[in-house]
Structure 1
Amino acid sequence: MTSNSFRYLPLDPQLREIRLLTLSSGCPDEPLQCHLSTTCLTARPIYKALSYVWGDPASSKTPGNTLILDGHPFPVTTNLRSALRHLRPAAGGDSMCLWVDAVCINQGDVDERSQQVAMMRDIYALAAQVIIWLGEEDDGSNAVFDALPVIASRKSRRQYDDEGKDQEYCLDLMRQCGSFFFGLTDCHPWLSRVWILQELAMAKKDPLVVCGWKSVSWSTLVKAWRAIARETLANLGTRQKVREATSREKLESTSIGDNAESHSDGPADEDDDEDDDVEILAKVKIEVLDDLRKAVRSRGGESLRKLLLISRTSAATDPRDRVYGLLGLLEKDALDPGSSVTVAVDYRKPTSEVYTDAMAHIFSRGDGPYFLSGVFLPGVSAVAPHIPSLPPMTKQPDLPSWVPDFSRQVPDKATQPNGIRFHPPATMSASGAGTVCKNGRRLDDNRTLQVEGLLVDTIEQVMSLGTTLDASIENLAYLESVASDARQRPCLFRPSVAPLIQKFKNSEPLWRILISNKHFMSGYDPAPLSYERMYLSLLKQHAITAGGDPNHHNPDRAQRSEYELCLQSGVGQQSFFTTKSGFIGTCVPDSRRGDIIAIVFGSPVPFVLRPITQSGPAARGEGQTYSLVGASYVGGIMGGEMVDELYCEDLMDSTTFFIQ
């Protein structure tokens, strides 16, 4: 966004130089007069750092969207111009010193951009104040910002006066402000950008949140939200529904292994006098951001695995920033090149290489197999996200199949089902004793992953479970027949282990397998035995309907059993498969005959791998190379039976898998 008339002077990265923007005072309608100066971070300059959203880059070409920078017109986006116009000191006042990335970094210099982005953690940490610009005021936002301090400083219920006047007044304000918070992410894109995680978390003082001409502190905004969530939702009688929805949402799209959005270990808020209700807040973005801020302040950082999960709904104009925007929040141990693969900011790298670097780092930290088991995988031959600054037809390397597209980690953008769907209950893992092992490394070609595990079997057939719930229910009887036939297939394993294999593949009923043996309301607990009765009832109802009984009354299908709701969540997201030796299970729909099922040590789910002929280890005779297709649930081995009873007892050898 540089102008032909303005020229940047180079910065010295060895001296940790940055530029600062001095915003002169003026009347609201006057042109924005600014000056750039150079300083060193080591000199501890006094400045404020702006946290905002660029907005549409094309808006910088709109007439009037300019600053006067050192006497020269300098184009900026509409949102940045609006932010500076609202923050500018009134005429006659002192000027304001700011750090603003779009102006203080020469965006046209790739090397400088890489160097400055690598310093952003310190830039925001050393700022005297971080200013969060939400955007211009809208209908009702002024009244909301006036009410927030009142709500945040509310008394607890037991402290209200006998007449309840204070309580009623505060509840009325909460009702007025509720819609603002529930529409916050949709109306104010600041919350949905990846860079704001670092900018907020690194602020050493309470940030200032600005909307139009109004402002409150960040802590006031969070406390007001908590008050509204606890009081308003409870009064609406929705607390239990919110708890249930939160529980299921955690299962489907939060942390792998531990709750990435659980409350941090940081200091408790002053007003946490009703902590028993705090779980209703778990999935609200503002609370996630505040938890991250507390975690970084108390522990110094987080793992990249957890940061990628926390930020999965966050967006970035440049897809590489989905990784680069998180590096400043890494825990100190993760920055040690002696124990971890380091990720350097380099805007000359293609997206696929940046994402592969991130995954290599996660594997070096011991989190790789578990992480892969619960994210949206790209599938085979997936195209990497395009970098907007490159011409549209510029060819970039595809993503390796073991590297997620971090810009597509929400259901409406993903191209494959989430692996969480195939996870067994929380107390189980297909890796058994190998669940916590450190497994996997990227090879020198930078695209091949080497992991250890067990080769379970080869897929013999893959069947759709149906495109609707009713179609899935109609298929149940046929699936029972297919499963029974598959389990009678002779075991192709060597005789010494064949009896155990036979025991494994017959040990889990189909009704559990089809829902990954999970309880509908939690996702972490095993499916109760009551689900078997529901399943048998579905089989019976279908048999009666298929028999054409004229006296049969079709029940109200709006009243679905919990088991049906479990089935419904998997419609279109999973297929049924059998293997050559008679295992049965569910897998991602892209699976096909000839794919193999493999347990990768450290993952709670087996993976579907596809043999490929390619250069690399396979060509050198070092082993077969595979593509990672996706996760699976294999009946009878999801509790670690193969690992514990075969591998750990030296009845089965591990296999080295090379995945590209």
Structure 2
Amino acid sequence: MPPPSLANGHVSNESSHNDAGLRSDFVAYKELQHNEIRIAEIDPVTADSRSEQVSGRLIHVPRDQPPAYQALSYAWGRPSKRETGYILLDGIKHPVTRTLEAALHRLRHEDGQKKLLIWVDALCINQNDLGEKAREVERMRPIYERAEQVSVWLGEHSEDSPLAWKLLKELHVASNLTTVIQSHRLRAFDALKDLFRREYWWRIWVVQEVNSNENTVVYCGEDHMSWSDLLQASGRIEKATRIILDAVYHDQPHSIYTLTSGGPRNLRIQRHSNTRADEKKLPLLVDLLYSHESKLSSEDVDKVYALVGLSLDRETFGAIDYSLPARLVYIHTAKYIITQTECLNVICRQNNDDNPLSLPSWVPDWQRRLLFPHHRVMHMQFREPSYEAAGTTKAKFSWPPWTNNSEVLQASGFTVCTVKDVAHPFYCPIDERDIRPTLVAFHGWWEFFANAKGSTIDDCEAFQRTFCGGTWAPRYEEFGREDPSQRVSQFVRLLWKMFPRLIDGMPPLPTTPLEEGIDDVELEKRAKGTVAAAALRMHGKRLVVTESKLVGFAPMAARAGDKIVVLFGCNFPVVLRQLEPKAKCLQVDGKFYGGERMSWALIGEIYVDGIMYGAAMRNLNAGKYTEESYYIH
């Protein structure tokens, strides 16, 4: 949680650790001694004070031997929707967010006797003392670890959220998932989907807070559930994916994904863990970055810093330094990951961002800044089986000293081919259930493919593999339950029904018989589900064909003349674009560097049919290609 004063002066848009805009100048903070933390001591509710304002005081306690206390995990809300409330500290009005006021109102004891001891960032760190703020931010995890309980506050109930809690509780204890699911209407599942989309689940710091303590309780209005029970209930939803698919969301892959992977499961640091992280089995930082790339943070650097302490790399990553600009932090992170893993897969995460930090093209921008805010572009990282375009090779790389601040990646590999032509890119509409744009794009891509390559049976099979990037992402496989070859048949079936004129002029596309014993209504239902899922795979992409008639599923920014390159130590081929050559002679630190070097920009990863599992590497070894160095800016 960074000091807000180092955040270019703006107030947090979601993190509860930036509250300078709400602090009161008249709250007197006593200086923390070396081994102290502050705790908020909140007065209990009495018969006469049930509706009165939250009141209390701040006390100092030993950091290593504190009394039993809770630690609060919550979200502020976006600035445009954030309201200011207040509590009484030592009888003085103290401004806080309405979210915090409501949380303390809910959590304070109602026995009239016992005071609530709770650590809250907005109260227990003196936001006006930059030195204290920097020190306490570094010590956040132990504070949550030592708490008797971490209390998660999701907010007050909405109109339908009680339906979601009822469904969760029934799923947690149900012996028959089908019975429970079929007994609830669409409204209950939509309510659960909305609950799992609350802003709390998208805060990056929450990942650390809920994974630092085994005793975590989640509160929403008057309802509550232990964190472990909530994880188990949401895990049962994942097991019932097919049931929910058939009964509720047959053509809404986004909704299915929200239910099966959103909410509490979206915050796990280890896929199969329902409790806090095993200190001996912490994930790599790069895996955490992949898992939580969609989280939000008010400070760009927190997309990295909030995860370092939970990773296997926490001792070797280097110092957490909030005085560094995000650009340098992101470059350091990319260099660190490449060096530690001897792998270049991380450079492929750069895709479809507008690059406000002016990052080198090989450095991912971990902040969620996408050109397409409604749907993320799906990467090829999570395919089964995993792609191995470069075989088992390790990356050959360096950051030459003669380049600008060593920000140019020198990587070895070989050029496979040059892009000759590109199809129109596809941008999925907000609601993937509107399948008409997807069908039209599919038609255009097939015409492009058939004209460029052909329409034989082998060509059609290559198209079926290529138009969604090879194998589908596992989370959408439920929408392609039939034989993969039937996916094209699903598209053709719907094209015939919705756009018969397009079919009349389309190059012939062989199809396979659809599954027997299923009525037309069910067949159409499955077809719409398949197309809706394909839309999210096709989103932000385009087909390309090379001079040697290889076909690829490329970033929408790809264009004719780009090179398709296999870099050693990278599971995916990449698209590189030639830039102007750099100077022929440079002098750095008294050393002279001569020779013209070609410069390249990374456009992104690409699926190229036929070379995703080492075929290009075998051709390199056979002398078809030539190894060379690429200077990627």
TM-score, with length taken from structure 1: 0.69
Residue among 100, 105, 112 paired with 1:80: 100
Quote how far apart the aligned CAs of 1:216 are.
3.1
- What is residue 201 of structure 2 aligned with on the other side? 191
CA–CA distance in structure 1, aligned partners of residues 291 and 81 of structure 2: 30
Map 1:158-307 onto structure 2 (within 5 A): 180-186=191-197, 188-204=198-214, 206-225=215-234, 234=243, 238=247, 282-289=260-267, 291=272, 293-294=274-275, 296-297=277-278, 299-307=280-288
Quote how far apart the aligned CAs of 1:53 are.
0.9
SS in 2 for 1:400: coil
When the two chains are superposed, the root-mean-square deviation of aligned CA atoms in Å is: 5.0
Q: Does 1:335 align with 2:314?
A: yes
Contact preservation (8 Å) 1:608, 1:631? yes
Quote how far apart the aligned CAs of 1:75 are.
1.6
Residue among 19, 33, 40 paired with 1:21: 40
CA–CA distance in structure 1, aligned partners of residues 506 and 288 of structure 2: 54
SS in 1 for 2:612: coil
- What is residue 127 of structure 1 aligned with on the other side? 147
Contact preservation (8 Å) 1:151, 1:173? no
When residues 475 and 57 of structure 1 are mapped into structure 2, their CA distance, relative to the original with a 3 A threshold, is closer
When residues 24 and 567 of structure 1 are mapped into structure 2, their CA distance, relative to the original with a 3 A threshold, is closer
- What is residue 330 of structure 2 aligned with on the other side? 355
Q: Deviations over 1:167-191 (max 9, x none)?
A: 99999799997565333123x4322
Larger mean CA deviation between 29-38 and 637-646 belongs to 29-38
When residues 399 and 413 of structure 1 are mapped into structure 2, their CA distance, relative to the original with a 3 A threshold, is farther
Contact preservation (8 Å) 2:161, 2:192? no
Contact preservation (8 Å) 2:468, 2:538? no
Letter in structure 2 aligned against 1:654: E
Map 1:34-45 onto structure 2 (within 5 A): 34-45=56-67
When residues 461 and 69 of structure 1 are mapped into structure 2, their CA distance, relative to the original with a 3 A threshold, is same
Contact preservation (8 Å) 2:330, 2:365? yes
Contact preservation (8 Å) 1:617, 1:623? yes
- What is residue 642 of structure 1 aligned with on the other side? 616
Letter in structure 1 aligned against 2:552: G
Quote how far apart the aligned CAs of 1:350 are.
2.6
Letter in structure 1 aligned against 2:220: C
- What is residue 32 of structure 1 aligned with on the other side? 54
Contact preservation (8 Å) 1:460, 1:594? yes
Map 1:451-600 onto structure 2 (within 5 A): 451-464=411-424, 468=437, 469-470=439-440, 472-474=442-444, 476-477=446-447, 479-483=449-453, 509=462, 512-518=465-471, 522=477, 545-546=504-505, 573-580=540-547, 583-600=550-567
CA–CA distance in structure 1, aligned partners of residues 167 and 449 of structure 2: 59
Letter in structure 1 aligned against 2:206: I
Contact preservation (8 Å) 2:350, 2:362? no
CA–CA distance in structure 1, aligned partners of residues 237 and 379 of structure 2: 34
Residue among 554, 576, 583 paired with 1:609: 576
Quote how far apart the aligned CAs of 1:148 are.
6.7
CA–CA distance in structure 2, aligned partners of residues 235 and 517 of structure 1: 26
Residue among 300, 304, 314 paired with 1:323: 304
- What is residue 491 of structure 1 aligned with on the other side? none
SS in 1 for 2:219: strand
Letter in structure 1 aligned against 2:127: Q
Quote how far apart the aligned CAs of 1:404 are.
2.7
CA–CA distance in structure 2, aligned partners of residues 217 and 514 of structure 1: 43
Contact preservation (8 Å) 1:457, 1:596? yes
Q: Deviations over 1:23-73 (max 9, x none)?
A: 2334233343332234453345532110111224577774xx223334543
SS in 2 for 1:199: helix
Quote how far apart the aligned CAs of 1:544 are.
8.2
- What is residue 604 of structure 2 aligned with on the other side? 630
Contact preservation (8 Å) 1:185, 1:191? yes
When residues 618 and 449 of structure 1 are mapped into structure 2, their CA distance, relative to the original with a 3 A threshold, is farther
- What is residue 3 of structure 2 aligned with on the other side? none
Q: Deviations over 1:395-451 (max 9, x none)?
A: xx4233223332327895289843329x987264221232xx255566772633333
Contact preservation (8 Å) 2:70, 2:149? yes
Q: Does 1:383 align with 2:355?
A: yes
Contact preservation (8 Å) 1:363, 1:439? no
Letter in structure 2 aligned against 1:32: V
Give ranges in structure 1 of 5+ residues lacking alignment: 159-166, 254-280, 385-396, 485-505, 549-555
What number of residue pairs does the alignment pair up?
562
Quote how far apart the aligned CAs of 1:3 are.
1.4
Quote how far apart the aligned CAs of 1:587 are.
1.9
SS in 1 for 2:141: helix
- What is residue 340 of structure 2 aligned with on the other side? 365
CA–CA distance in structure 2, aligned partners of residues 11 and 614 of structure 1: 57
Letter in structure 2 aligned against 1:629: I
Quote how far apart the aligned CAs of 1:465 are.
6.2
SS in 1 for 2:275: helix
Give ranges in structure 2 of 5+ residues lacking alignment: 1-21, 428-436, 508-519, 587-592
Contact preservation (8 Å) 1:590, 1:629? yes
Contact preservation (8 Å) 2:43, 2:115? yes
Map 1:386-397 onto structure 2 (within 5 A): 397=357
- What is residue 12 of structure 2 aligned with on the other side? none
- What is residue 398 of structure 1 aligned with on the other side? 358
- What is residue 433 of structure 2 aligned with on the other side? none
Q: Deviations over 1:438-484 (max 9, x none)?
A: 55566772633333322323434434267853355256455434347
CA–CA distance in structure 1, aligned partners of residues 26 and 62 of structure 2: 26
When residues 84 and 568 of structure 1 are mapped into structure 2, their CA distance, relative to the original with a 3 A threshold, is closer
When residues 593 and 111 of structure 1 are mapped into structure 2, their CA distance, relative to the original with a 3 A threshold, is farther
Letter in structure 2 aligned against 1:658: Y
Letter in structure 2 aligned against 1:127: A
- What is residue 308 of structure 1 aligned with on the other side? 289
Quote how far apart the aligned CAs of 1:202 are.
0.7
When residues 529 and 414 of structure 1 are mapped into structure 2, their CA distance, relative to the original with a 3 A threshold, is closer
When residues 352 and 432 of structure 1 are mapped into structure 2, their CA distance, relative to the original with a 3 A threshold, is same
Quote how far apart the aligned CAs of 1:361 are.
3.2
Letter in structure 2 aligned against 1:5: F
Map 1:96-115 onto structure 2 (within 5 A): 96-115=116-135
Quote how far apart the aligned CAs of 1:615 are.
7.0
When residues 456 and 600 of structure 1 are mapped into structure 2, their CA distance, relative to the original with a 3 A threshold, is same
Quote how far apart the aligned CAs of 1:96 are.
1.9
Quote how far apart the aligned CAs of 1:76 are.
0.9
Letter in structure 2 aligned against 1:41: R
CA–CA distance in structure 1, aligned partners of residues 81 and 184 of structure 2: 37
Quote how far apart the aligned CAs of 1:598 are.
1.4
